[in-house]
Chains A and B, each alone.
Chain A
Amino acid sequence: MAGTLHRLPTVTPARRLAWRAGAIAAALAITTLFLALSGRDPRLLADLVVRSAVGSRFGLEDLALFLTPLLLTGAAVTVTGRIGVWNIGAEGQFYAGAIGATAVGLFLPGPAWLVLPLMAACGIACGMGWILLPALARAYAGVNEIITTLLLNFVAGLLTTYLAVGPWHDRVTGALASTGRLPVRIPEIWGVVHWGFPIALAIVLALAWLTTRTRWGYQITIGGANDQAARYAGIPVRARILGAMLLSGGLAALAGMFEVAGTVHRLQGGLANNFGYFGIVVAVLARGSCLNVLPAALLMAFILDAGIVLQTQQLTASAVLAITGLVLFMIAIADELAHYRPVTVRRATTGAEARP
């Protein structure tokens, strides 16, 4: 290498966006390469993906259904990220929310206008309860929240399966793997897309306002940027960590409630479908900004949607995870490389990321 690299202290949004676009292109190029090597016609597949995912009404409806939980779990992880805490447990809180909502839906008969808000409230309370212990341990004892929230995911997943095949299982049809169909449902607004979608959008916008335009949001931002400075300014950092984590748990739980009451209509094992984990991916892509959760969740939803299409073409379901990982990996590289500029030699400004 003849030239030296110069590190830029700050990167403009345009520059970062350009690098990220390059990263996604590179990830797609690598995916294409592997599809071609495995004997498929990438052009045909790409055509199919685009036509069925965004070129058809069914594809767009599916996109919106994927987007709804991703917006909420992505926002959940982003909110804690702003105060420097990683909620890896959105998956578990999603399940907890679904369980709480199902309990109300199954055992509390009543009109939909009354039962649905109760389901949401109970679901959110369960999600908050699910994160309460890790949040208290983190705020008051400094226990690493990454481990505690993660491990509780498995507990919640198994509890859901237990309820679905055990005490709550469907006694009408005799199906063993799920509860009976819930008597109430979130009304649809467009095809299979239910009201959860616009509500999730509105919640993300409200969170963007909450985190940047309120005193609470400012305190969270300072606490996340430098907790010593926050203490110096008299910000109650522990209470803010607790509050942000509870909010996060509630958001992920609401995603679970939407999923169970709007899309699946029954509680079953595997209901969360990794939405909690994909929420982490969304948050990483969003870089701490709730507004950025919108495009990040859209990208993630598109990848999931494309995955469905690819599965109809006899590709394994793991291909989606591999593509997600590849995109994330490339974007991580691009975010870092965006800080560098070759000083003498103007070469290798674009090619670097395409090299696997």
Chain B
Amino acid sequence: MTDPRHAPADGPPPIAPGTPPILQLQGICKYFPGVIANQDVSLDVAPGEIHALLGENGAGKSTLMNVVTGIYQPDGGEIILDGYGQSFAAPQDAIRAGIGMVHQHFKLVPAFTVAENIHLGWRETPFRASAKTLESRTRALSERFGFSVRPDAVVADLSAGEQQRVEILRVLARQARLLILDEPTAVLTPAETRDLFRALRAFRARGNAVILISHKLDEVIDISDRISILRAGRHVGTWRTADCTAAGLATIMVGREIVRRDLRARAPGAAAIARDPGAAAPVLSLRGASCRDARGIETLRDVTLDVHGGEILGIAGVAGNGQRELTQVLTGMMPLSAGTVLLDGAPVPLADPAAFARAGIGHIPEDRLRSGLAPSLDITDNMALREYARPPIGRHGLYDRAAAARLAGTIVAAAEVRVPDLATPIRNLSGGNQQRLVARREIRIASRVLVAAYPSRGLDIGAIATVLRYLTDLRDQGVAVVLVSEDLEELLNVADRIGVLFHGRLMATIDAATADMETIGLLMGGRSAPNGPTSGGGHA
């Protein structure tokens, strides 16, 4: 592919001096109740540029892009397109102004053909839209923009990479000059990624711009011209990619003021970690564990780990890299496609959450309202969820409501939650109180292991401290704790070891006491640690 007009084949085109940026953001602010999502964000995207946007989960990238695409209205600041101030009342305005976004989760109609999806909700769709017309129009678009698609294929039958091409083509067909891609390579194979990048370079060569949200540092360095980093809703800075290294970016991205408050110190008399040679088998282990989602994509790949009594194993990683699957495998909610789960060194034949709970494995689920509670039912019914089948609540196939109410009262008291009465629907409680109740309910179950997924998500500082204290207390009693978190500060303060997940793979398990941010950041971005302080505990 050589384009005679430009010296470097797919490089940035020469831009006349004084050309205004395609997009300029000035002091964008966006607030949600109790949350500062974006504060004073200013950055610009020039024509002929691929601009990468980096940041941790919750750093404000998605909010910022939703402001740019007209889904949210900014609470402050200005959006300037080609030198003119713009305000978007609705997403359609942004599309008309040439801004197109491809979301991480595709917004296609699976039952429709590619051609139908491309033409859906588009004002240029001809009034008499026969399948033939739409397909020939789609073929023309596909050739014009260099994204090969099969116009007559039904979207549901396409691979993730093909669906993404349809999504991009749909945006380009609407004359987008600024293409925003959210984690575009997360679902792609390496070959598809190369194809995508080739197409993006061609798009850039025509004087258009791309904003690329990604966590993969290697890719970002490979494709982007400049990199902006957001942290806690604020713009930290913008650098030319040529001046950046992966290690440096990782440090900037996660390297905020980390308060290292060592919660690893055991109270006197606390149980020691049962990890020494000669000690009993680890409480819970995975050997070569893999699982696949409904589409057959491997979401957990060959994970081997051991959890010992009396320790907290932290699991770090960018959300969506296998954390959900790992917690579900460890709690018996998801069967493995390969590998084994071992409980006290003995393989567990069947993934059965009730059996895992009986074996003493508690589970604080990621999304407590959706999967850990029945929101419309009262506190009593919700607190009985784990013990309804055991005496005193469950005897001879009965459900003793009075005993269930006594249990609920015990849990409510232990959680120090004030409730008007136990017949209150649990959805009427605050998120913090719900989380405390779920945590106390599961701690009663967790005589061996507690698997806690994002237990502090959405809580205020006081509630977070309470929940973390629950975990350390449990550890001191000799229970093994698996703590999945997106908050590195929390992991570094509480965990004894930290495992990092990337694309379903456990990159490494490192000793938390000596771990440094840079190593964790690199691992989270898919780089293996150079010579990091890898402890042997992970890949035993």
Give chain A's interface residues, CB within 8 Å of chain B: 9-10, 212-219, 221-222, 225-226, 228-235
Contact B371 A228 (CB under 8 A): yes
Interchain Cβ contacts under 8 Å between A and B, 28 examples = A212-B399, A213-B401, A215-B388, A215-B389, A215-B398, A215-B399, A216-B397, A217-B399, A218-B381, A219-B388, A221-B381, A222-B385, A225-B375, A226-B375, A226-B376, A228-B370, A229-B385, A230-B374, A232-B363, A232-B371, A232-B372, A232-B385, A233-B353, A233-B354, A233-B357, A233-B385, A234-B353, A234-B356
B428 within 8 A of A: yes
Interface-central residue, A213, A217, A225, by most chain B CB under 10 Å:
A225
Contacts of B356 in A (CB 8 A): 234
Contacts of A233 in B (CB 8 A): 353-354, 357, 385-386, 388
B429 to chain A, nearest CB (A): 11
Partner of B388, one of A9, A10, A218: A218
Contact A229 B384 (CB under 8 A): no
Contacts of A10 in B (CB 8 A): 424-425, 428
**A217's closest neighbor in chain B, by CB?**
B399
Contact A218 B384 (CB under 8 A): yes
A231 to chain B, nearest CB (A): 7
Question: How many angstroms between the C-alpha atoms of A58 and B376 in the bound complex?
Answer: 44
B365 within 8 A of A: yes
A336 to chain B, nearest CB (A): 16
B373 within 8 A of A: yes
B450 to chain A, nearest CB (A): 15
B69 to chain A, nearest CB (A): 31
Known: A10-B425, A215-B389. A226 touches B370 (CB 8 A): yes
B184 within 8 A of A: no
Chain B residues with a Cβ closer than 8 Å to the other chain, count? 34
Question: How many angstroms between the C-alpha atoms of A225 and B397 in the bound complex?
Answer: 20
Contacts of B371 in A (CB 8 A): 226, 228-229, 231-232
B358 to chain A, nearest CB (A): 9
Cβ contacts B387-408/A at 8 Å (1 or 0 each): 0110000100111110000000
Question: How many angstroms between the C-alpha atoms of A219 and B393 in the bound complex?
Answer: 13
B459 within 8 A of A: no
B352 within 8 A of A: yes
Known: A222-B381, A229-B385. A234 touches B374 (CB 8 A): no
B375 to chain A, nearest CB (A): 7
B391 to chain A, nearest CB (A): 12
Contacts of A215 in B (CB 8 A): 388-389, 394, 397-399
Contact A9 B353 (CB under 8 A): no
Question: How many angstroms between the C-alpha atoms of A215 and B372 in the bound complex?
Answer: 19
Question: How many angstroms between the C-alpha atoms of A206 and B353 in the bound complex?
Answer: 31
Partner of B374, one of A213, A216, A229: A229
Contacts of A213 in B (CB 8 A): 398-401
Question: How many angstroms between the C-alpha atoms of A234 and B445 in the bound complex?
Answer: 14
Contact B425 A234 (CB under 8 A): no
Closest 3 CB pairs of A and B: A234-B354, A225-B374, A234-B353
B244 within 8 A of A: no
A207 to chain B, nearest CB (A): 14
Contacts of A9 in B (CB 8 A): 425, 427-428
Interface-central residue, A10, A233, A235, by most chain B CB under 10 Å:
A233
**A234's closest neighbor in chain B, by CB?**
B354
Known: A9-B428, A10-B425, A226-B375. A231 touches B397 (CB 8 A): no
B350-364 residues at the A interface, CB under 8 angstroms: 352-357, 363
**B357's closest neighbor in chain A, by CB?**
A234
A229 to chain B, nearest CB (A): 5
A84 to chain B, nearest CB (A): 11
Partner of B333, one of A214, A218, A232: A232
Partner of A229, one of B332, B352, B372, B394: B372
A297 to chain B, nearest CB (A): 25
Contact A222 B363 (CB under 8 A): no
Cβ contacts B95-107/A at 8 Å (1 or 0 each): 0000000000000
B328 to chain A, nearest CB (A): 9
Question: How many angstroms between the C-alpha atoms of A218 and B354 in the bound complex?
Answer: 15
Interface-central residue, B332, B375, B394, B399, by most chain A CB under 10 Å:
B399
Identify 7 new A-B residue pairs, CB closer than 8 A, beyond the known A225-B381, A234-B332. A9-B425, A215-B398, A219-B388, A221-B374, A229-B370, A231-B371, A234-B357
Contacts of B9 in A (CB 8 A): none
Question: How many angstroms between the C-alpha atoms of A214 and B363 in the bound complex?
Answer: 25
B35-83 residues at the A interface, CB under 8 angstroms: none
Contact A229 B333 (CB under 8 A): no
Contacts of A222 in B (CB 8 A): 374, 377, 381, 385
Contact A234 B398 (CB under 8 A): no
Contacts of B397 in A (CB 8 A): 214-216
A112 to chain B, nearest CB (A): 34
Contacts of A231 in B (CB 8 A): 333, 353, 371
Question: How many angstroms between the C-alpha atoms of A219 and B353 in the bound complex?
Answer: 14
Question: How many angstroms between the C-alpha atoms of A229 and B375 in the bound complex?
Answer: 10
Cβ contacts B420-464/A at 8 Å (1 or 0 each): 000011011000000000000000000000000000000000000
